[in-house]
Amino acid sequence: MKKNFKRRSMLYIPGNNPAMLQQGGVYGADSILLDLEDAVALNQKDAARILVRNMLKSINFYNSEVSVRVNPLNTPFGKADLEAIVPLQPDSIRIPKTETAEQLAELIETIEKIEDEHNLTHDKMTIHAMIETALGVQNVFEIAKFSKRVDAITIGGQDLTADMNIASTKDGGGIDFARKRIIMAAKANNIDAIDTVFVDIDDDEGLKKDAAYAKKIGFTGKAVINPRQIEPIHDIYSPTDEEIRKATKVYKAFVKNTKEGIGVFAVDGKMVDRPVVQRAEHILSLADIDLQSFE
């Protein structure tokens, strides 16, 4: 069940910071991650849980997807996080340090039990699996395909380099294989792949380079840790005027030809079949152009 959120940018907000939480929706990020895990100190976990629970009930995050990163089930906090958050049905729940499909199974079972207790269906809230270890990278395809509820895979670069015992570098060389493997698993299952954060918030050029590379290799979006990073990333993920023009042409022709019962046709001398139309649809949706308007 692929959701309709764009997810070009995902803004991380520490769950124990009320000032940041209450302003979370104003920066225009496609996705907002309310974090109960790594951004929150051990002695603040309960405070963060209560705060995020209350914020979910009262703050307007406007059009952004709202995701909550809970603590892993094998910590003292994970279960309590799920019990507090799942009933509120944020758009998605992010599971850190996912390593095996079995882990995911246990997690989904726990979630569905809580949903049953609250008379909620199992098809609204989705799950983002976060890959942060070598084992997770190796098992990512199994994880990605495990459940229809998993609609995004993300990579946690900081934890991954720590797990691999290598230095984290700006060019991301050490995690390049991991990124690509994760992307492939996501694409094979037709779900989103979200890249890791670029930690130097003062390095605009570095961010752009990193995001451009992420886009090139297939990530559908990137995590951000400061609202300043949102616009450059949206710029990179937004189609150019030329791309929009071409896509419009293709889609218009598609609609016309479909009405006339023609499945394969040419635009500007190039064959247009289903994959080309899909790419055009994707570009138009990134450009916020309503496909219905072509009918």
Binding residues (CB under 8 A) for another protein: these are 19, 22-23, 26-27, 58-60, 226-228, 231
Candidates 62, 57, 49; CA nearest to 11 is: 62
Of 8 and 179, which has the nearer Cβ to another protein? 8
Of 60 and 190, which has the nearer Cβ to another protein? 60
Of 96 and 227, which has the nearer Cβ to another protein? 227
* Least CB distance to another protein at residue 64 (A): 13
* Least CB distance to another protein at residue 112 (A): 33
Q: Rounded to an integer, what distance in angstroms lies between the CA atom of residue 224 and that of residue 37?
A: 16
* Least CB distance to another protein at residue 14 (A): 13
* Least CB distance to another protein at residue 230 (A): 9
- Give helix 176-188 / helix 204-217 axis angle, nearest 10°: 40
Q: Contacts from 107-112 at CB under 8 Å and sequence distance 24+?
A: 107/73, 108/147, 108/149, 110/73, 110/79, 110/82, 111/82, 111/86
- The CA dihedral of 180, 181, 184, 185, to the nearest 10 degrees, is -150
Of 27 and 237, which has the nearer Cβ to another protein? 27
Q: Rounded to an integer, what distance in angstroms lies between the CA atom of residue 71 and that of residue 86?
A: 13
Of 61 and 251, which has the nearer Cβ to another protein? 61
* Least CB distance to another protein at residue 52 (A): 16
DSSP letters spanning 135-146: HHHHTHHHHHHH
Of 19 and 167, which has the nearer Cβ to another protein? 19
Number of Cβ within a 10 Å radius of residue 18: 15
* Least CB distance to another protein at residue 28 (A): 8
